[in-house]
């Protein structure tokens, strides 16, 4: 089945989300150590067909790339080298962590569970991907 993958790249951890086969809904999938993300995606692509990567791109409020954009740029080079035939779309990731925290609160997650940064990362990836999917329709 064809899937679009959402990625919230961070220096330490990477949140990963996946679309449903129809490309309507995004769901949090996993949080992976940054050093292992390319291998994780390679393994995932052996069982599912990835048709696009949607990567959160860190920008300041004025729209200029933030300091963290250098890390994402380095990741994008590795991603494009390993998956040259899969298109990559950059998505503004401003406020996704805030939205992820709000979603966890609204979803009834306990405070101790909300402190788990791996949850925030994969929910942020789902928010990034859902934004893309909503605009695509």
Q: Looking at residue 97, which CATH number applies to its domain?
A: 3.30.420.140
Full residue range of the structural domain in which residue 73 is found: 2-136
Average pLDDT, the chain: 87
pLDDT at 103: 60
* Mean pLDDT value across residues 39-63: 92
Q: State how far the Cα of 70 lies from the Cα of 49, in Å rounded to an integer.
A: 28
Strand partners, 36: none
Structurally, the chain folds into a number of domains equal to: 1
% of the chain surpassing 70 pLDDT: 82
- pLDDT tops 70 at residue 52: yes
Give residue-wise pLDDT tens across range 75-102.
Answer: 999 999 999 999 999 998 765 665 555 6
Q: Which residue has the tokens 């959402």?
A: 6
Q: State how far the Cα of 47 lies from the Cα of 35, in Å rounded to an integer.
A: 21
Q: How far is CA 103 from CA 86, 88, 106, 116, 128, in A?
A: 30, 26, 5, 14, 13
Give residue-wise pLDDT tens across range 111-126.
Answer: 666 566 667 788 889 9
Q: State how far the Cα of 48 lies from the Cα of 113, in Å rounded to an integer.
A: 30
pLDDT at 108: 65
Of 54, 58, 77, the closest CA to residue 5 belongs to: 54
The DSSP secondary-structure symbol of 65 reads B
pTM of the model: 0.86
Between these two residues, 83 and 109, which has the higher pLDDT value?
83
């Amino acid at each position: 089945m064809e899937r679009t993958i959402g990625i919230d790249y961070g220096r330490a951890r990477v949140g990963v989300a996946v679309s449903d086969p129809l490309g309507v809904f995004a769901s949090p999938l996993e949080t992976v150590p940054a050093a292992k993300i390319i291998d994780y995606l390679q393994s995932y692509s052996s069982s599912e067909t990835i048709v696009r990567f949607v990567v959160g791109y860190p920008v300041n409020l004025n729209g200029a790339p933030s300091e963290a954009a250098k890390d994402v740029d380095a990741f994008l080079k590795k991603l494009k080298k390993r998956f040259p035939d899969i298109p990559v779309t950059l998505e503004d990731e401003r406020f996704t962590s805030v939205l992820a925290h709000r979603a966890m609160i609204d979803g009834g997650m306990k405070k101790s569970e909300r402190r788990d940064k791996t949850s925030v990362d994969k929910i942020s990836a789902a928010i990034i991907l859902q934004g893309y999917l909503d605009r695509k329709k």
